[in-house]
Chains A and B, each alone.
Chain A
């Protein structure tokens, strides 16, 4: 069946520098325009070639302002995907569907967020979109003192470390690995910064146990953009969209799935993974680069379990065992340390790794997995050259 579905390609991708500068006056619009313009240049396409645009429902930069600034022509397809970073791969999935349905030929996907100088997601007060937590969820959790994403995830993290036998050192090492990469990544928030030691990690304050600031994604200003295309471009190598899937669990809450028998079962992630592997015909051992959604450190090993890189409860052992053959994981420093663009910077990173153009190039990878946010309806993407 799969060979009867026309191929779709990632023709270009770009991200801005990610910043935390209190006096920055760079708007989300400027960052979106710069990222989209750079993605077009990367794809060697004029703006007039774009006939479709896909972004997140939580995006504040309107499609038409971007289109005017870049000089696009007729647009035949516009769509948005809900649930923030859960929908990161859905941008590509929607673009690919539009292309295969004949509604568009070259689709721009973008996300721009001033998460530092603008509304702070980490405050728990920045959810203006219907696909954020519902008023009822916010009411029930604020009343008990669970007011922020970190506080919600802390309860799930405590339980996960307890069940999986993980330690604070285990998650601290993941946080430090992200900072170590970011220190060498010119587009990262923490570029050029001294890499913290494990002692620095333990000396830092808690946000909500077991999470410290280094365990939480870095709220930052910046944007990312992709061009999804029907046709092969002149580029070499070609980056092919192998599979893009998404799933939501009907009983899903917004990062507060505390009330099910096993809140760590992540049925939406397992369903996304199952269909991703089935559709692609690939298995985890074929993956060279894994961009694992890293809103909070404990969800890196938990997702590696859900995507089948290791068994249930084996995430920490999988990451800690020097003898394990693993994909390169978040070589850019991820959203913990490069910047937070609700995951779209991760797809850009995967594209750059596959085309040999990454700032921190990790060998010559030919396959990449990108996962979406966890604890919300989610999605995942497989790319290959």
Chain B
């Protein structure tokens, strides 16, 4: 399709959190995959594209625990940037008891009624391939 209105590119239409699925925007011309959606392919500027649905998996690129009380009652929660197996990087909610390590492998979970894709650690106890991602309480923690 070709996006005519801003609403054609709204995040909600690229998300199916209940079934743990997201749609990458795939260029009809050069086949590039991108996230978030744009009016044209960021590689070749072709305006025609389709949704390429995946169940995301990947590695944590960065992560933060949000403490803002916006909206009230929701915080704290984790948001991660995840390098997908397919290439693009996405922002996702992360379900984890502890602050995870950067580099840790994560996968989608079904999150009925959620407004964003939720992910979890593939191996909650497993080591990542890089340093501790950061917390929270230790004065000299390696963020």
Contact = CB atoms under 8 A, between A and B. Distances in A.
Query: Ordered nearest first, which 10 A-B pairs have the shortest CB separation?
Result: A161-B143, A159-B62, A154-B64, A144-B116, A140-B36, A143-B11, A140-B11, A206-B67, A209-B65, A158-B62
A166 interface: yes
B139 A206 contact: no
A65 interface: no
Interface in A201-234: 202, 205-210
A251 interface: yes
Nearest to B116: A144
Contacts of B135: 209
Interface of B: 6, 9-12, 15, 34-38, 42, 61-68, 70, 74, 77, 79, 81, 88-89, 91-93, 99, 102, 115-117, 130-131, 133-136, 139-143
B116 A143 contact: yes
Contact of A209 (B64, B74, B89, B142): B64
Given A162-B102, A162-B133, A259-B35, A207 B139 contact: no
Interface stretch (A145-153, A186-194, A304-312, A364-372): A145-153
B67 A207 contact: yes
A258 B116 CA distance: 17
A320 interface: no
Nearest to A298: B143
A41 interface: no
What is the size category of the interface that chain A forms with chain B? 35 or more
Contacts of B141: 167-168
Nearest to A205: B67
A120 to B, nearest CB: 11
B131 A162 contact: yes
24 contacts: A123-B70, A140-B36, A140-B91, A144-B116, A145-B77, A145-B79, A145-B93, A146-B79, A147-B68, A155-B79, A155-B91, A158-B134, A159-B81, A162-B62, A162-B133, A162-B134, A162-B142, A167-B139, A208-B65, A208-B67, A210-B64, A210-B143, A258-B91, A259-B36
